[in-house]
């Protein structure tokens, strides 16, 4: 195997095996464990047994090491993970028990060049468990989560291994290491310390038990959330109840009903994991809207087999206990210490700045909607949360004279991808894309693209998996199957995932503007992975602080609305005509519309995340009071505005049960950097190769090899401020 189990991955595997959470993008792990020496590749079985060889345990002979998806069966993962962990244990023991005095090469570099089989198998498993799960994969996930947790602890808490790292750390000023190597040594030391390496043996035993239980609970939570999002789909037995939806949307609802073996004449609206649901913008029948929205909001908080409240309560308590053991007041203190924000108070200050502005804007938008309801409805009613999307769309139509149905024909998926996303990448970085239909995938909807440098050199692969399905987690995200580092070589293989509803057979995929910008966003993560050019695997690709990882992808969203890029992809799917300039102007003018709502629903979820993780173990409420706690948070922060619920309510807040615990603030924190960067780009050339190369050289290729804020200053030459993001969202004007 040519890939490596880098310092960041093992912890990530433990988290993902524990909970296939729903980050909209790659999330660095809470606390990764270090790897061990390289494992030898498992040789192919001799002739008679060749067909029985587990394809996960041999080196892929496909281009760029693409996994042989056509040969991999779900059951292969159980054996492969067991074998990989056994190999890894032997490798760790060899490093820890090395009789030679510790050196940077025989200890730190040895661990960097290690764990190849587990890296490969673990990436594969975590990616497929999220994108294409099955009963078998979920069984393996439940079985392996506590084993992976124990395996991680065996490394983190190995006293002989830590002694070698500690010795080198104490000698670091005498080792004459280059900057990246010194940073790596310091990273290893602090990660071991934060993982419990300095605890007593009794405390280590307690920590192991906490980590084991958290792994099991994380798995249970993620599987309950996925099960309920499917079981909570809303069934209608009357087409009239779906008035306002397009013929294509209704056909999809009928197809979903047929797939569930319901009688003809039934329709099923499936749910996403967010609180809001896309059909709410279209459904004319208020009762239908209410049914869909309440089904969404009540997930996980009812006394049934999908109830997650007790899991949430226990997870928060265990995290709080673990934080105290490791020397921190709360889990939020523990988590934020290693982020660019740096402290609980910094994040709380940011929330205190944004919350009142966001909710003042949301209430003003709500007043406009209420005015429209009063004017247009024969029997006016008070605005409720299930009404917002429907009437906000009407307000937008009135104010900007367009609706989604007018612009969707200009946003056909393939055209947006090739003539928008790929076009902008070629203009900025000189890279080009060629579809590889000859390579295997894990699902018929997945496509493979080979990526080439400007000189024609192969750079890597990108897999696109853009349609929703019942065995795929919600949201949008990027992942890596392979990473590149100068130490080990290799080429990156990345995945780009969305959840766009798939149209009926033969019909085009017409996107909303939000889906268009999401596609650009996730591609921003992809190029972060593709361009990685660091010495050590621990710093490769998106191995950066959680509140920095969204920054490059949020910057990339700007190209969706860049005039030259828009003109190249916003073409009518039937006539090929460009979107009319007057319509385009109205679309762009409307970008700040409804931003009070968008910011308020997001920031309330971010505050809820922080409030949960700033509790001590004794302060965590019982399971039956979980929703009361959330309601109290909303009231105390003056966010209790009923028409705008949090984007995620606690029982289905998958981000914070996974890698974004005390980290959901990251999106707006990254957007602060993003908004300032967009200003810099507009001032310094815009869509050209010089701009793209500067972004690649200072940010995209550097991964975590340097402090994140130093990277930002290398790019922008200045410190960011919060005003640009508030101005972008229309929450303050340029003169405030």
Q: What is the pLDDT of residue 52?
A: 65
Residues 6 or more apart in contact with residue 64 via CB below 8 angstroms: 450, 458, 460, 461, 482, 491, 492, 493
Tell me how many domains the chain contains: 3
402-427: per-residue pLDDT in tens?
877 889 999 999 999 999 999 999 99
**End position of a domain, from candidates 247, 266, 297:** 297
Under the banding of pLDDT at 50, 70 and 90, the label for residue 401 is: confident
Task: Give the whole-number percent of the chain exceeding pLDDT 70.
Answer: 93
- pLDDT score at 405: 83
User: Do 76 and 101 fall within a single domain?
Assistant: yes
How far apart CA 108 and CA 110 sit, in angstroms, is 5
Angle of helix 76-96 versus helix 116-131 axis, rounded to 10: 140
Of the candidates 129, 153, 156, the one whose C-alpha atom is nearest the C-alpha of residue 212 is: 153
Distance between CA atoms of residues 4 and 15, nearest Å: 18
Distance between CA 661 and CA 332 in Å, rounded?
A: 8
Q: What is the pLDDT of residues 29-79, one digit of tens each?
A: 333 333 333 333 333 333 444 456 899 999 999 999 999 999 999 999 999
CA distance 19 to 659: 9
Q: Give the pLDDT of residue 658.
A: 82
Residues 119, 242, single domain; the answer is: no
Domain match, 123 and 255 both: no
Q: Are residues 262 and 130 both part of a single domain? A: no
Confidence grade of residue 734 (pLDDT, cut at 50, 70, 90): low
Q: Which residues are marked as active site?
A: 522
The answer as to whether 482 is a domain residue is yes
Q: How far apart are CA 394 and CA 400, in angstroms?
A: 10
- Together in a domain, 104 and 161: yes
Q: How far apart are CA 572 and CA 102, in angstroms?
A: 64
Q: What is the pLDDT of residue 498?
A: 96
CA neighbours closer than 13 Å in the CB half-sphere of residue 712: 26
Reported residue count of the chain is: 736
Tens digit of each residue's pLDDT (9 = 90 or more) over 643-696: 999 999 999 999 998 888 999 999 899 888 999 999 999 999 899 999 999 999
pLDDT number for residue 210 = 96
Q: How many whole angstroms separate alpha carbon 62 and alpha carbon 685?
A: 39
- Provide the 8-state DSSP code for 480: E
- Residue with tokens 């795929």, as numbered in its chain: 472
Last residue of a domain, one of 191, 223, 255: 223
Q: Say whether both 208 and 250 belong to one domain.
A: no
Residue 313 lies in a domain: no
Q: Is 288 inside a domain boundary?
A: yes
d(CA 424, CA 520): 10
**25: pLDDT confidence band, cut at 50, 70 and 90?**
very low
Strand order across the 447-452 sheet: 432-435, 447-452, 458-467, 493-500, 477-482
> Tens of pLDDT along 587-643?
888 888 999 999 999 999 999 999 999 999 999 999 999 999 999 999 999 999 999
Q: What's the CA gap between 305 and 161, in Å, rounded?
A: 43
3-class SS of residue 435 = strand
Q: Are residues 218 and 238 in the same domain?
A: no
Are residues 35 and 55 both part of a single domain?
yes
The CATH number assigned to the domain holding 102 equals 1.10.1370.40
Asked whether 419 and 440 are in contact (CB, 8 A), the reply is no
Residue 654 lies in a domain: no
Distances (CA, A) of 531 to 183, 412, 692: 20, 28, 12
Structural domain of 240? 232-297
Q: Which of 197, 223, 249 is the C-terminal boundary of a domain?
A: 223
Structure tokens at 460: 């890597």
Residue 446's alpha-carbon distances to 151, 193, 524, 593, in angstroms, are 33, 41, 19, 34
Residue 149 included in any domain: yes
In a domain, 735, yes or no: no
Instruction: Note the pLDDT of residue 459.
Output: 98
Average pLDDT of 142-146?
92
**Residue 174 CB contacts under 8 Å (≥ 6 apart), including other chains:** none
- Predicted confidence (pLDDT) at residue 441 exceeds the cutoff of 90: yes
Give which of 178, 203, 169, 151 is closest to 35, Cα–Cα: 151
Give residue 504's pLDDT band: very low, low, confident or very high (50, 70, 90).
Answer: confident
Place 144 in a pLDDT band, splitting at 50, 70 and 90: very high
Q: Answer yes or no: do 208 and 278 share one domain.
A: no
Same domain as 256, residue 154: no
In a domain, 470, yes or no: yes
Do residue 246 and residue 202 come from a single domain?
A: no
How much is the pLDDT for 26? 45
Return d(Cα 299, Cα 391) in angstroms, integer: 24
What is the reported pLDDT for 273? 86
Encoded tokens for 731: 């929450």
Under the banding of pLDDT at 50, 70 and 90, the label for residue 721 is: confident
Average pLDDT, the chain: 90
Instruction: Check whether residue 194 and residue 154 sit in a common domain.
Output: yes
Q: Summarize pLDDT for 292-320 with one digit per residue, the tens.
A: 999 999 999 988 999 999 999 999 999 99
Instruction: For 7-22, write each residue's pLDDT tens digit.
Output: 344 444 444 444 333 3
Is 582 within a domain?
A: no
């Amino acid at each position: 195997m040519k890939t490596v189990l880098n310092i960041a991955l093992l912890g990530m595997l433990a988290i993902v095996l524990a909970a296939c959470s729903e980050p909209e993008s790659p999330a660095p792990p809470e606390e990764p464990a270090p790897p061990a020496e390289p494992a030898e590749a498992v040789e192919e079985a001799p002739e008679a047994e060749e067909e029985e060889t587990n394809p996960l345990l041999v080196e892929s002979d496909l281009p760029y090491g693409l996994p042989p998806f056509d040969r991999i069966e779900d059951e292969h993962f159980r054996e492969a993970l067991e074998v990989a962990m056994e190999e890894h244990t032997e490798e760790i023991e060899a490093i820890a028990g090395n009789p030679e005095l510790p050196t940077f090469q025989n200890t730190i570099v040895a661990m960097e060049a290690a764990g190849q089989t587990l890296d490969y198998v673990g990436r594969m498993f975590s990616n497929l468990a999220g994108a294409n799960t099955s009963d078998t994969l979920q069984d393996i996930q439940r079985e392996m989560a506590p084993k992976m947790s124990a395996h991680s602890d065996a490394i983190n808490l190995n006293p002989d291994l830590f002694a070698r790292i500690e010795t080198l750390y104490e000698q670091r000023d005498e080792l004459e290491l280059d900057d990246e190597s010194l940073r790596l040594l310091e990273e290893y030391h602090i990660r071991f310390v934060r993982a419990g390496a300095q605890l007593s043996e009794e405390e280590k035993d307690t920590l192991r038990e906490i980590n084991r239980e958290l792994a099991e609970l994380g798995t249970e939570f993620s599987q309950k959330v996925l099960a309920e999002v499917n079981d909570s789909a809303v069934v209608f037995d009357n087409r009239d109840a779906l008035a306002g939806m397009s013929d294509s949307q209704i056909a999809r609802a009928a197809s979903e009903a047929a797939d569930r073996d319901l009688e003809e004449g039934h329709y099923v609206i499936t749910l996403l994991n967010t609180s809001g649901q896309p059909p709410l913008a279209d459904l004319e029948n208020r009762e239908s809207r209410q049914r869909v929205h309440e089904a969404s909001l009540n997930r996980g908080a009812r006394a049934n087999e999908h109830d997650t409240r007790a899991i949430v309560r226990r997870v928060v308590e265990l995290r709080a206990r673990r934080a105290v053991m490791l020397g921190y007041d709360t889990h939020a203190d523990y988590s934020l210490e290693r982020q660019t924000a740096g402290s609980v108070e910094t994040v709380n200050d940011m929330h205190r700045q944004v919350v009142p502005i966001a909710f003042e804007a949301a209430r003003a938008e709500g007043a406009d909607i209420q005015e429209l309801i009063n004017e247009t409805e024969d029997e006016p009613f008070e605005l409720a949360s299930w009404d917002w999307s429907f009437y906000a769309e009407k307000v937008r139509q009135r104010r900007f004279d367009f609706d989604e149905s007018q612009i969707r024909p200009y946003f056909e998926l393939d055209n947006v991808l090739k003539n928008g996303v790929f076009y902008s990448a070629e203009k900025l970085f000189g890279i080009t894309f060629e579809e590889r239909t000859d390579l295997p995938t894990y699902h018929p909807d997945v496509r493979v693209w080979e990526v080439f440098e400007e000189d024609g050199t192969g750079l890597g692969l990108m897999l696109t998996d853009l349609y929703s399905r019942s065995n795929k987690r919600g949201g949008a995200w990027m992942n890596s199957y392979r990473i590149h580092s100068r130490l080990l070589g290799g080429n990156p293989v990345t995945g780009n995932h969305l959840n766009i509803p798939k149209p009926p057979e033969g019909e085009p995929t017409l996107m909303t503007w939000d889906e268009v910008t999401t596609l650009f966003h996730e591609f921003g993560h992809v190029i972060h992975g593709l361009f990685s050019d660091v010495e050590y695997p621990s710093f490769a690709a998106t191995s950066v602080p959680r509140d920095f990882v969204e920054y490059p992808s949020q910057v990339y969203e700007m190209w969706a609305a860049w005039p030259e890029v828009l003109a190249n992809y916003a073409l009518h799917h039937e006539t090929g005509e460009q979107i009319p300039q007057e319509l385009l102007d109205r679309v762009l003018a409307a970008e700040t519309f409804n931003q009070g709502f968008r910011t308020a629903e997001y920031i309330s979820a971010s505050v809820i995340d922080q409030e949960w993780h700033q509790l001590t173990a004794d302060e965590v409420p019982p399971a039956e009071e979980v929703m009361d706690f959330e309601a109290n948070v909303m009231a105390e922060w003056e966010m209790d505005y009923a028409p705008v619920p949090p984007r995620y309510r606690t029982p289905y807040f998958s981000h914070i049960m996974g890698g974004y615990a005390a980290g959901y603030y990251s999106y707006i924190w990254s957007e602060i950097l993003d908004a300032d960067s967009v200003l810099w780009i507009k001032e310094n050339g815009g869509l050209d190769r010089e701009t793209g190369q500067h972004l690649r050289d200072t940010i995209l290729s550097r991964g975590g090899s340097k402090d994140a804020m130093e990277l930002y200053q290398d790019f922008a030459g200045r410190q960011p401020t919060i005003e640009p993001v508030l101005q972008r969202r229309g929450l303050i004007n340029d003169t405030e």
